[in-house]
Amino acid sequence: MPGHGPRCLSRAVAWAGLLMLVVLLGCSDKPDSPEAQIRARLDQAEKAAENRSLDELTDFIDEQYRDRSGRGKRDVTRLLTLYLLQNQSIHLFTRIKALSLTGPTRAQAEIVVAMAGQPIGGSGGLDLAKADLYHFDLEFIDRGGGDWKIFQAEWRQAHIGEFL
C-alpha cells in the first residue's frame, strides 16, 4: 500500500466507513424487494463494523471491485485492517440520501456517514462535529439471491449540512 501519511489514514478511514455504513431508514419496501435487500446488507455491514469483524466486512466487497484509483478488493482489505487496528471502538451515523435500481442486478446509492470512536447522538451538529464525515457514491451488484456487493465506489469528505 503506497504512502504512509495523513492522506493514507484518511483513505483508510473513508474505506472503513464505506463498509461500515448503515442505518435502516424505515423504508416501506416489500421485504424481498432489491431496495430492502440492499438496506439489510448495509445493516449487516454496520454490525460487522461495530464487531470489528474483518472477514464479515470484506464479504461485502465484490471480487471484481475496482475503483477509479485502481484499488481492488485486496487493497480495500488492507485499508480495513489498518483501520480496525487503529480504532478499538467504532460508531457510525449514516443517512441514505438516494437508493435506486439501475438494472435487474445493479443499484446505486448515495450515502453520508459520520464515523467516531464514541456513540454519535444523531444529526445534532455537536456530535457530528466530533466525527469524520464522508459522502459515498456506491454501485452494487447482486451476485444472486439478494447477495448485493459493492463493486465500485467514490467518496469525498462531507459537511454537517449533508446530514440535516
Where are the domains positioned within the chain? Answer: 6-163
Average pLDDT over residues 57-66: 95
pLDDT of 161 > 60? The answer is yes
Task: Tell me the Ramachandran region of residue 32: left when phi exceeds 0, alpha when psi lies from -120 to 50, beta otherwise.
Answer: alpha
**C-alpha cell recorded at residue 99:** 437508493
Average pLDDT over residues 128-141: 89
The CB-based long-range contact list for 122-126 (8 Å cut-off, 24+ gap) reads: 122/93, 123/93, 123/95, 123/163, 123/164, 125/160
Q: Which candidate, 131, 126, 123, 38, places its Cα nearest to that of 90?
A: 131
pLDDT at residue 13, as a whole number:
61
pLDDT at residue 2, as a whole number:
47
User: How far apart (Å, rounded) are the C-alpha atoms in residues 161 and 148?
Assistant: 29
Quick: pLDDT tens for 30-43: 458 999 999 888 88
- Beta strands across the sheet bearing 106-116: 91-103, 106-116, 132-142, 148-157
Average pLDDT over residues 50-63: 93
Q: What is the CATH number of domain 6-163?
A: 3.10.450.50
Mean pLDDT of the chain: 82
pLDDT of 26 > 60? The answer is no
Q: Hey, which bits of 50-163 come out as E strands?
A: 91-103, 106-116, 132-142, 148-157
Q: Which candidate, 161, 12, 2, 143, places its Cα nearest to that of 86?
A: 12
User: How far apart (Å, rounded) are the C-alpha atoms in residues 113 and 136?
Assistant: 8
* β-pairing verdict for 106-116 and 91-103: antiparallel
Quick: pLDDT tens for 92-127: 888 899 999 999 999 999 999 888 888 887 666 556
Confidence of residue 47 (pLDDT cuts 50, 70, 90): confident
pLDDT at residue 28, as a whole number:
40
Average pLDDT over residues 136-154: 94
Which tops the pLDDT comparison, 131 or 105? 105
Instruction: Tell me the percentage of the chain whose pLDDT exceeds 90.
Output: 47
